[in-house]
Structure 1
Amino acid sequence: MAISGEFFLFGFAFTLALISFSICKIKKPNKKPTSSVLPTNWPVVGMLPALLRNSHRIHAYVTDVLSESGGTFEIKFPRFLSPDMLATCDPANIHHIFSRNFSNYPKGPEFRKIFEILGDGIFNADFELWELHRKTTLSFFTHPSFHGLLEKSVWENVENALLPVLDSFAARAASFDLQDVFQRFTFDSICKIVLDHDPRSLLMFAGRDTTSTCLTWLFWLVSRNPSVEARILEEIEQGGCSSRRFGAEESKKLVYLHGALCESLRLFPPVALEHKAPAGPDFLPSGHYVETNTKVIISFYSTGRMKGVWGEDFMEFKPERWVSGKGGVNHVPSYRFPAFNAGPRTCLGKEMAFVQMKMVAAAILWRYKVRVVEGHAVVPRDSIILQARDGLRVQLSRRRRINV
């Protein structure tokens, strides 16, 4: 079988990267150690050795690099392998790329090639085709009967599918993967809403979507912060939401829970990064020049972990930062909080997602104490969708309430 030229070049670059990595591990006696995390730009192989060395924690590494470099950094690759890449998490750059100069930053043909399975749908489309998809989808989400259908479908699935499964686990004190349950639940829910069909035979193909990912990280974070859990339960009780049913109207009262979801999305955005392919040269607000063949990577994961954006307590799980002094939800511009993308491509299903997540989270937290299995490591995958790498293994215990 013939080996393609592209595969040969990648193999050659990989070999050179290993050699460079071996060389850089040899300490020079007169050279002082440095604490900088910025990658070295080696001859021939560029910064590939540092990326390979940190491939098992790529999101955290990129965050470290962007934090040290002021929010934007140019990554040099071997010229024969790939064009250079500009990584950024700077809110000013995000606002420029996603809003002010939106037309210059399509997703591009390479993105469509990578996600070919999505065809010419809204997630892959650019320009006129994207606008057509956007208008069509928006008409669906704004239809008067849609929100009633959403609430009815989600709650039926919660009451008739999700809670009976969780009751079974709780009764047997059995540990299980909560992330897997959320993936199956959200897949079934969206199929029921869009197709009016419950795909019982398709549970094995459970959707890996953003809603299930956010719920997974929410319950992990809440399990590590008992005071937050107590505040959520207090809010449910004081808001008169402590009945068996948690509908859309009831969920609007859950401002603190809304803040907890936003904190989960800030620290663990389900879509960790976005890729742009500039249609023409440009200057970013940070002062960086972008050439037409430069790949632009926007790290949403890093944006949520920048001290300059969120303050000294940026790594703390604080739902309070999303609650205004008047008891409402604090508005944060999407270029600072791009969990639902930003600009014209802002997720059309944002409000739908919040309603669904608040209904599910409130129903579970009101009924069960969720405890992560001792010794189970919970770390994010090094992928675009920021799922927990090994799932979220938990045990449930029923709360003693009269009206559950």
Structure 2
Amino acid sequence: MLPKVLWNLHRIHDFATDILKQHGRTGEFMGPWFTKMNYLITSDPMNVHHIMSKSFDNYVKGPEFREIFQVFGLGIFTSDSETWRYHRSLLLSLFKNRKFEMFLEKTIQKKLKGSLIPTLEYAKQQGIEVDLQDIFNRFTFDNICSIVLGYDPNCLSIDFPHVACEKAFNEAEESIFYRHVVPKSVWKLLEWLQIGEERKMSEACKVFDQFIYSCIASKREELSKYNNKSQIDESHPQVDLLSTLMMMREEESKKSQSQTLVHDDKFLRDTAFNLFVAGRDTITSALTWFFWLIAKNPLVEAKILEEIKENFGANNNHDIKHNVLSIEEVKKLVYLHGALCESLRLFPPIPFESKQAINGDVFPSGYHVSPNTTILVSLYSMGRFEEIWGKDCLEFKPERWISEKEGIIHVPSYKFISFNAGPRTCLGKDLSFMQMKMVVAAILCNFCIQVVEGHEAKPSLSIVLLMKDGLKVRITKREV
């Protein structure tokens, strides 16, 4: 089956969808015997529920996944069992902190007012074409650096500067996809010889790791000036995740009487990298496809603006064109929430999920799973089946998410799986929605986004569903 995959690599997600439709949403992929590239692929909600929830302990990331995603280290995305549980409990305590939510809100608002809106304003005044995906890439990289590391590299400004660590992060992720479509023996050889994509990834990792480790060293030196947590809180009312993580590890080390936790820079590096992936590329992907869909569906755009106007118009003493909404305020935007869900259904930022069976099993659909079988869940395909979403499954209809009482309809996570499902459901789901709503409201209330005529939106070959050639747009003034 490998030749067909390579021939359709430019449209791999739609190709997988076509194949799954022919095989009842679940089928086997067989590679050449010497490659060990045999997978079981599914987009059946009941099978997904079985894998992600009912038989969670039997389906793990596994050692092969960790080899492919070597750059991720032993972070939350690649770890299993107790290591994964430790990461999750640690990050859960970070995200559920009200102080962190306030810090996140202030960081995003500052970046919107100081960088994103001025950059779009400049593009509007100059009448130039811009790549909206590149703008979101820079915006989210600055945001995640500020949130995780407490440092803003200022990637987003009107001169679009070259920032080495941002470019390196992008290249490292692009190279990972390559490991999915060639035999392990091939990319292992290229890694050993340090040529091709493997050399590109190694060089990118060196640049990004140097940046991360320098931030860790700087943060450790900064925190060493203070004797206890209360002093840090007084001096740093907006504590970034790295600072908080270091303090938590120090508390753990005191309880266990071990200094290993305090000085484990590799753990901090891996955690930071995983947080970058979770809070950066996924948001970039979601916003890029959302604005492309909005440009193609002006009626949806009009309804979003009407909802914003009803909640924060002149009668509410809120000048939305010169203000950025807060987290509490965007919670009122139900239709916008539905529009984002609809966009994520059609273009999930992570298009496929990989699992490995520990023991033999039988799927609800009847497929027999052998021990050590690699299973690929196609999130992209799940949004394109009539059996799951109805005959209008390919249409962009935010209304499918809105109840008669004008609330959001709950859809099980194994059916709407953009934020994963079961115990591994994304911890930052709610915060991601809040951030996206803040960005969308700020842009739509100030500007009209028009896709350049002739621009074709094609998914890139990456582990994240970005646009291959970016999103070329023109910015015009929003007339009230």
TM-score, scaled to structure 1 = 0.86
Give the whole-Å Cα distance in 1 for the aligned partners of 2:51 and 2:325: 39
Task: Indicate how the Cα distance of structure 1 residues 205 and 259 shifts in structure 2: closer, same or farther if over 3 A, else same.
Answer: farther
Letter in 1 for 2:413: S
* Correspondence list, 1:295-374, <5 A: 295-374=374-453
Q: Does 1:234 align with 2:306?
A: yes
Letter in 1 for 2:443: I
1:220 aligned to which of 289, 292, 297: 292
* Correspondence list, 1:240-279, <5 A: 240=312, 243=320, 244-279=323-358
Cα pair 2:325 2:441 within 8 Å, conserved: yes
User: Which residue is 1:378 aligned to?
Assistant: 457
Cα pair 1:270 1:386 within 8 Å, conserved: yes
User: Which residue is 1:35 aligned to?
Assistant: none
User: Which residue is 1:145 aligned to?
Assistant: 99
Q: Does 1:85 align with 2:26?
A: no
CA-to-partner distance for each residue in 1:190-211, whole Å, 9 max, x for gaps?
Answer: 1212222212378454365100
Give the whole-Å Cα distance in 2 for the aligned partners of 1:124 and 1:156: 33
Structure 1 residue 78 displacement after superposition? 1.9
User: Which residue is 1:19 aligned to?
Assistant: none
Cα pair 2:145 2:151 within 8 Å, conserved: yes
Letter in 2 for 1:321: R
Q: Does 1:187 align with 2:132?
A: no
Query: Which stretches of structure 1, 4 residues or longer, exceed 6 Å deviation after superposition?
Result: none
Give the whole-Å Cα distance in 2 for the aligned partners of 1:204 and 1:364: 27
Cα pair 1:83 1:294 within 8 Å, conserved: no
Structure 1 residue 112 displacement after superposition? 0.6
Q: Does 1:69 align with 2:69?
A: no
Cα pair 2:112 2:324 within 8 Å, conserved: no
Give the whole-Å Cα distance in 2 for the aligned partners of 1:392 and 1:210: 16
2:80 aligned to which of 126, 130, 152: 126
Between stretches 335-344 and 66-75, larger displacement belongs to: 66-75
Cα pair 1:272 1:301 within 8 Å, conserved: yes
Structure 1 residue 83 displacement after superposition? 4.7
Q: Percent identity?
A: 51
Higher relative contact order (CA 8 A, sep 6+): 2
User: Which residue is 1:97 aligned to?
Assistant: 51
The runs of 5 or more residues in structure 2 that have no matched partner are: 156-161, 171-280, 314-318
CA-to-partner distance for each residue in 1:314-359, whole Å, 9 max, x for gaps?
Answer: 0000011111111111111100000001111111011111010000
SS at the partner of 1:73? Answer: strand
Q: Quick check: which one's helix share is greater?
A: 2
Give the whole-Å Cα distance in 1 for the aligned partners of 2:476 and 2:26: 46
* Alignment coverage as a number of residue pairs: 355
User: Which residue is 1:33 aligned to?
Assistant: none
Give the whole-Å Cα distance in 1 for the aligned partners of 2:5 and 2:154: 42
Between stretches 170-179 and 189-198, larger displacement belongs to: 189-198
TM-score, scaled to structure 2 = 0.72
Letter in 2 for 1:63: T
User: Which residue is 1:56 aligned to?
Assistant: 10
Give the whole-Å Cα distance in 1 for the aligned partners of 2:163 and 2:334: 33
User: Which residue is 2:363 aligned to?
Assistant: 284
Letter in 2 for 1:215: L
Letter in 2 for 1:233: L
Quote the RMSD (CA, aligned, Å).
Answer: 1.3
Between stretches 338-347 and 192-201, larger displacement belongs to: 192-201
Cα pair 2:401 2:409 within 8 Å, conserved: yes
Cα pair 1:59 1:382 within 8 Å, conserved: no
SS at the partner of 1:87? Answer: strand
The runs of 5 or more residues in structure 1 that have no matched partner are: 1-46
